[in-house]
Structure 1
């Protein structure tokens, strides 16, 4: 039988096609009339018994190799998704792909799915904006406000809004650092409030007011409120904002309770709650994660972590196995030191194993014997090798993710 694909002719024996009866070429043998043949191919020359297919000839060469030799691989010069369409057309199942090519195809499908999701969000945003297009002044203000808050590249107002938000994040981080100074902590423990303490409180109040205002604007514009609240950055905003308001309420309640007679038990309870609130107020440092809204690098980092969960899991597995191996060895090697022994048990040796394999080396636990030092050397060398295995894959994923996000950002800015 003669198969003409994209102007290139192939002579294939019918016996080869009999091995793959479910493929498009295999179905040609079961055709009994001209109409059935035309349902499978694009054209047919009865005189030459030649079947014409208007498809990619490069992809068909790979499919021919699979039909004759049983090996199916992706083409480097061809998009993996386009080759997937060719497989669907010719009736070849993806399970026949080699494992490396199948992995490449899966990665490409994930990237395409993320791109479609991003495009869908952009189309939805544009559709929402078009829905408000009328002559009213309110709708015009809403469109400008939406662009300013959600798209920093929309113009000068968007860039100014992003700069203000970043400035408040930086101020919050600095105020948190200042509030941990010893003199401020002593005044807080004594229940006193100097001018410095008052200034920090005012600064924190202004920052939280801005973050609350920004969160309110974003929630008003969100079409799906549930999806908005499930977004990781919005969850971080809630965890960072709520402790401030809760602490204000608790302070008001504690002030009223202390002024009432017999409020000792209530004050003890409020003191315990105050310890929890002190921890919650430390969550203000989560505001630093808000920089991901305006930083392409942080967005790339988050996308890389999400895409490389398998690699990070593999790295953690390597670390746990090596830790379980070297901790008992160093404990046994150091057990002869008696009273000077720093490795008192295997669980306490876990800390030393992790610090050694990650090449940090605090020096709080040091093997003294020669066998222990040999184990330490083996632990350090194995840690360097184990850490290097997944790093290459993570680096390539980071580079690819950065290129994709940068391209999406440029495409969004050009609209």
Structure 2
């Protein structure tokens, strides 16, 4: 039951039980505004309406008054009412509200709030529009922002009202988090400005990642941060068949078991032996011992036996891994498997040629077969599978391709510039060693790299000046990729070896 004060009761208006429609609307407005203001304040302390005023009620009240004024002659013939005493707690009615011509008059800024054009435009709620302020306390460091800034990331801890509700301190009207303060500065900047996460220099990776997990930052944002920091994401796919799975792990993951570690050691030994053999057989003492002219091939030669054993192991390893791999298509596309295949092809091509001709001279004289023998050196890349240091080098150069491309462009421009300049400067000099611009390319490259073989040098004074400028420009150009490669190497080395920078 709603209590109505005596001065607002119908009897207080001089008419006993009779009262006008305007009086009832004023009583209803007073009580409805009081009820809504009280109930809304109890649910949300941060949102307030103006005292005794609600845009929605004012709009409804003005609409009802407009309908009463349009009733016609019945209201016009009504005798003039005697002015009644205003209740003590009711706000006085303005002339703008009582005047029937007030709709055409230009309202003042203060009166404009009582004449909303529509309900949607007149009713302003900061709770839903996100304009109310939110205070965050992170281990004593306070941050303030608008609610709409946090609501832009609804999947995170701060952007979800249900998730952050348990951290609300009703006494201080703030959210309290007993977490790492320097890390939250970077997270707070992400909420305000978006973009990528940037780890502060004085925060280690493990602390920063743990804070990101606590605040439930979007997974794609964390993955982008890990990629920029040099983290290597590896998706392990295993065969479904249990026997194939064991064999696959035996050849692919040396850290899983002792037999797998032994297989990795055998593979490394065969790789190192084959590389040493490739270099030693070119010595003068052994160059002609395993291949005598006009004689049949010696299949008992130690070089041939060792090379055949190494190739047999590489072939067996490749065939087994291909047979038990979880995906044949992914296996073929993998660059490491392409290296393994390229390392064994030259042996079989050379062996086929020797068996057909029954002479080893053909294998030595053929330029294409000689090139295939050089391709055998690609086996050195098999070591990257078992050594983290080599993997770091490969990842570093792969991540530095953009910087290396910029270096090559600058190098080519400088080579063209200085080779053309030195040619025209030395053209009239007697005894000049620069015969053409393409001939000057070699001089420009050697000078810019600060090698200086001395086979081509400028003779005139202007040529020496050009050579000096070319050497200085070369030093500056070589400095372009150094910081890029160094930064990428530090990132990959830190996360690959686990030796972080603290």
Instruction: Decide: shared fold, TM above 0.5.
Output: yes
Structure with bigger helix share is: 1
Correspondence for 2:25? none
Q: Return the offset for 1:223.
A: 0.6
Correspondence for 2:208? 79
Q: Return the offset for 1:212.
A: 0.6
Gaps of 5+ in 1: 28-36, 95-104, 133-138, 259-269, 409-415
Q: Return the offset for 1:201.
A: 1.9
Counterpart contact for 1:24–1:40, Cα < 8 Å: no
TM-score (normalised: structure 2)? 0.57
Q: Distance in 2 between matches of 1:154 and 1:70?
A: 41
Q: Distance in 1 between matches of 2:210 and 2:436?
A: 55
Correspondence for 1:401? 492
- Matching residue within 211, 218, 227 for 1:110: 227
Equivalent runs, 1:80-229 vs 2, <5 Å? 108-111=225-228, 115=232, 117-118=233-234, 120-121=235-236, 124-125=237-238, 128=239, 132=242, 139=243, 145-181=247-283, 184=287, 188=291, 190-192=293-295, 198-229=301-332
Q: Alignment RMSD, CA only?
A: 4.5
Q: Distance in 2 between matches of 1:83 and 1:387?
A: 39
- Matching residue within 357, 375, 381 for 2:448: 357
TM-score (normalised: structure 1)? 0.67
Deviations 1:123-181 (A, max 9, x none): x34xx48x62xxxxxx3xx6654444223334443333223222222221232223334
Cα distance change on mapping 1:311 and 1:42 into 2, 3 Å: same
Q: Distance in 1 between matches of 2:148 and 2:326?
A: 47
- Matching residue within 229, 235, 238 for 2:338: 235
Correspondence for 1:3? 134
Q: Return the offset for 1:344.
A: 0.9
- Matching residue within 244, 247, 251 for 2:350: 247
Q: Return the offset for 1:362.
A: 2.0
Counterpart contact for 2:363–2:370, Cα < 8 Å: no
Counterpart contact for 2:150–2:191, Cα < 8 Å: no
Counterpart contact for 2:250–2:259, Cα < 8 Å: yes
- Matching residue within 301, 322, 325 for 2:393: 301
Q: Distance in 1 between matches of 2:247 and 2:167?
A: 61
Correspondence for 1:372? 463
**Other structure's SS at 1:359 match:** coil
Q: Return the offset for 1:342.
A: 1.6
Q: Distance in 2 between matches of 1:11 and 1:290?
A: 53
Decide which structure has the larger Cα Rg and report it. 2
Cα distance change on mapping 1:383 and 1:191 into 2, 3 Å: farther
